[in-house]
Amino acid sequence: MTIDWSWISGHTDDLTTLTVSHLQAALSAVFFGLLISLPLAVVAHRVRPLRGFLLGLSNVLFTIPSIAIFVLLLPVSGLTRTTTVIGLTVYTLVVLLRNTVEGLDSVPAKTKEAAKAMGTRPLRTLLTVELPLALPVIMAGVRIATVMSISLVSVATYIGDGGLGQLFTDGFQRDFPTPVIVGVVLTLLLAVVADALLVALQYVLTPWRRRRA
Amino acid sequence: MIQFDTVHKRFPNGTTAVHDLTLDMPEGGVTVLVGSSGCGKTTTLRMINRMVEPTSGTIKVGGKDVTRQDAAELRRSIGYVIQQSGLFPHRTVLDNIATVPLLLGHGRRKARARAAELLETVGLTAEAGKRYPHQLSGGQQQRVGVARALAADPPVLLMDEPFGAVDPVVRTQLQDELLRLQKELNKTIVFVTHDVDEAVRLGDRIAIFRTGGHLVQCAPPAELLARPADDFVADFLGAERGLKLLSLKTLAEVPQGPAPDGGAWTLVRDEAGQPTHWRSADALELPVRPLKDGDSLLAALDESLASPTGLVARVDADGVLTGVTSRDDIHRHAGRAHAEARVAA
């Protein structure tokens, strides 16, 4: 297996477009996943009877094969980016929901009680005390969801999307390994860089965890 | 200032935490609620700022029924200090203290300025303000907890076993600081503890609770120690409650005479006139613990037992020897203190 370097230099524009498209699909999924998970997690955290149901549902959704999800969505949103993002979002829920609930659970009762006793109302307590303290656990979920989404985008090649995944089909069909290798390397790079940026983001967002006494 | 009128609290599981409590907590005084665990003292405290709602009866703070006020606003007007401080781990010490002023909409700059002022009040450095709670010692965290409760200058302060989790030395320091602060601020303080010694040290009045949420006796510490209402109170105060009473009396009124010179024991002083140790005729040396007028009769009794002559060295504020007091004089005053407490009660 040799790499055809001239193919790479001849296709830098295409590779850039695919990489951006790939990243966009993955990040959109994480974004919408968070948008759905945060309120659901708050409900699951506060209303105990719903907790098992919501977490169970996210588990069930996760077990649906990815191709099946896309096929199920075709009549709704067709061969579009929307279908890709919806499919990926469904998969992020299992991690994001669970971690957000666990993050909220990890906030010490004493701290919540202090907030209440100082006269903080419930919504403000959630936004200024519970979510910040749950952040490390939530961010752990965001990191997993991001890396997972970046690797999953390629599956959407079946519906004509798939970002860097298109390089795999291209390479396989022409029995030409260079695009496959480039696709794998770029996907890996994206995942590593995205993860590192999230670690940096968490460092910025949680100043109280930096200097452990 | 705080009035409980036939307040009853039953929890949904059927246990009665507080049983028909009627109790007045006077303005500007420290009322200590004591009792073993499960006696309803903490529930009583938490009903004042509506962390727990009473089943029946009324609670008034400053003449106003607490249940008729918005709970969050009521809580902002009452300082609250809890065990292990309950500080916000993600906020700096300064921002922790600024919590209530911020909730009241005082603005960040003003709230922080007030917080900086309070750091000093509770004996912390400005540098500590920039740290996070986990970077402070337990005692320091507890000071921050007190500062946070004082930030909006509330007339009432609720303290739920605030010094329960620190070691005895720090605990005594914090108690001293609280007494000093209280002299300055004159708040109405409700203080929950299970430690009788702490109650006697801090309380202007002590309310003793028995399991099942019954208030057994509420009285000033001297009266409580001299005349416990029943066997339960007497047992709770402990066998040495007579000695505890002595901890409330100071040495000031006990007479003193000149220090012995040239006898079996000599009280040695340095150039400044401060006593350093006892020396016997055959050059044996024993330590001396000089006492000031503000020290308690209990400390004096203790020192008179340790002293080789039975004499207690008395010093002024600068530590300079003013005279000595005999074991007999201390005994006589101790006995008189007991008699007075019984008559007063």
Distances (CA, A) of B25 to B1, B196, B200: 6, 19, 16
For the beta carbon of residue B117, count every other beta carbon within 10 angstroms.
12
* Residue listed under structure tokens 């309803």: B40
Q: How confident is the model at residue A160 (pLDDT cuts 50, 70, 90)?
A: confident
CATH number at residue A190: 1.10.3720.10
Q: How confident is the model at residue B315 (pLDDT cuts 50, 70, 90)?
A: very high
- Please give the tally of structural domains in chain A: 1
Is A212 a domain residue? no
Is A210 a domain residue? no
B148 to A121: CB separation less than 8 angstroms, yes or no: no
CATH number at residue B307: 3.10.580.10
Q: Does A29 touch chain B (CB under 8 A)?
A: no
- C-alpha distance from B133 to closest chain A C-alpha (Å): 9
Full-model pTM: 0.83
Check whether B60 has a pLDDT greater than 60: yes
The residue that leads in pLDDT, B337 or B209, is B209
Check whether A180 has a pLDDT greater than 50: yes
CA distance B132 to B30: 31
- C-alpha distance from B96 to closest chain A C-alpha (Å): 10
B72 to A119: CB separation less than 8 angstroms, yes or no: yes
pLDDT given for residue B36 in this prediction: 86
Rounded to the nearest integer, the mean pLDDT of chain B is 91
Token pair in block for residue B120: 């000093």
Exposure string of B272-302, with b = 16+ CB inside 10 Å and e = fewer, is: eebbbebeeeeeeeeebebbbeebbbbbbbb
**A53, A60, A41, A49: which is closest to A106 by C-alpha?**
A41
Residue from B76, B77, B90, B140 whose CB has the most chain A CBs within 10 Å, to mutate? B90
Is A111 a domain residue? yes
CB B215 within 8 A of CB B57: no
Strands (E), B162-220: 188-193, 205-210, 214-219
Give the pLDDT mean for A40-64.
Answer: 91
User: What contacts A164, CB < 8 A, 6 or more positions away?
Assistant: A18, A19, A22, A153, A154, A183, A186, A187, A190
B90 to A208: CB separation less than 8 angstroms, yes or no: yes
Same domain, B172 and B266: no
Residues of A in contact with B82 (CB under 8 A): 110, 113-114, 117
Q: Does A48 touch chain B (CB under 8 A)?
A: no
Check whether A213 has a pLDDT greater than 50: no
CA distance B204 to B217: 14
Q: Does A129 touch chain B (CB under 8 A)?
A: yes
- C-alpha distance from B214 to closest chain A C-alpha (Å): 25
Q: Which of residues 140-199 of A touch B (CB under 8 A)?
A: none
pLDDT in tens, B143-159: 999 999 999 999 999 99
Residues in chain A: 213
Same domain, B225 and B314: no
**Residue that is last in its domain, among B220, B240, B260:** B240
Distances (CA, A) of A162 to A106, A113, B148: 37, 48, 54
A119 to B74: CB separation less than 8 angstroms, yes or no: yes
Is A92 a domain residue? yes
Residues of B in contact with A120 (CB under 8 A): 72, 99, 103
Same domain, B292 and B255: yes
CA distance B228 to A44: 52
Same domain, B232 and B263: no
Give the pLDDT mean for B319-328.
Answer: 90
Is A213 a domain residue? no
| Helix or strand holding residue B32 (H, E) | strand B30-34
CB A150 within 8 A of CB A23: yes
Residues of A in contact with B148 (CB under 8 A): 118
Q: How confident is the model at residue B182 (pLDDT cuts 50, 70, 90)?
A: very high
Q: Does B287 touch chain A (CB under 8 A)?
A: no
pLDDT in tens, B69-116: 999 999 999 999 988 768 999 999 999 999 999 999 998 999 999 999
B135 to A111: CB separation less than 8 angstroms, yes or no: no
Distances (CA, A) of A189 to A30, A184, B5, B176: 18, 9, 70, 61
Q: Flag the least confident range among A73-77, A190-194, B83-87, B96-100.
A: B83-87
Check whether A86 has a pLDDT greater than 80: yes
Say whether B246 sits in a helix, a strand or coil: helix
Q: Does A136 touch chain B (CB under 8 A)?
A: no
Is B85 a domain residue? yes
Same domain, B26 and B159: yes
Rounded to the nearest integer, the mean pLDDT of chain A is 92
Is B257 a domain residue? yes
Q: Is A65 exposed, middle or buried (0-12, 13-18, 19+ CB in 10 A)?
A: exposed
Quote ipTM for the complex: 0.82
Is B126 a domain residue? yes
For residue A124, the enclosing domain spans: 12-204
pLDDT in tens, A97-116: 999 999 999 999 999 999 99
Q: Does A65 touch chain B (CB under 8 A)?
A: no
For residue B328, the enclosing domain spans: 251-341
For the beta carbon of residue B179, count every other beta carbon within 10 angstroms.
12
Check whether B29 has a pLDDT greater than 80: yes
**Residue that is last in its domain, among B212, B240, B268:** B240
Residues of B in contact with A136 (CB under 8 A): none
CATH number at residue B181: 3.40.50.300
Please count the residue pairs, one from chain A and one from chain B, whose beta carbons lie less than 8 angstroms apart. Answer: 63
Residues of B in contact with A124 (CB under 8 A): 103
Is B37 a domain residue? yes
CA distance B326 to B333: 11
A208 to B132: CB separation less than 8 angstroms, yes or no: yes
**Residue that is last in its domain, among B187, B216, B240:** B240
CA distance B313 to B292: 9
Of all residues in chain B, the percent with pLDDT exceeding 90 is 62
Same domain, B144 and B41: yes
The residue that leads in pLDDT, B165 or B17, is B17
Is A43 a domain residue? yes
Is B246 a domain residue? no
**CA-nearest residue of chain A to B50?**
A117
Residue from A112, A113, A116, A118 whose CB has the most chain B CBs within 10 Å, to mutate? A118
* Residue listed under structure tokens 């390089």: A167
pLDDT in tens, B245-270: 888 888 888 988 888 777 788 888 89
pLDDT given for residue A85 in this prediction: 94
pLDDT in tens, A127-159: 999 999 999 999 999 999 999 999 999 988 888
- Please give the tally of structural domains in chain B: 2
Is B245 a domain residue? no
Is B291 a domain residue? yes
Is A46 a domain residue? yes
CB B158 within 8 A of CB B48: yes
Same domain, B152 and B188: yes
CB nearest A110 (choices: B84, B91, B132): B84
Radius of gyration of chain B from Cα atoms?
A: 23
B208 bridge partner residues: B34, B217
Same domain, B123 and B159: yes
Give, in degrees to the nearest 5, the angle at Cα B166 between B161 and B172: 85
Q: Does A132 touch chain B (CB under 8 A)?
A: yes
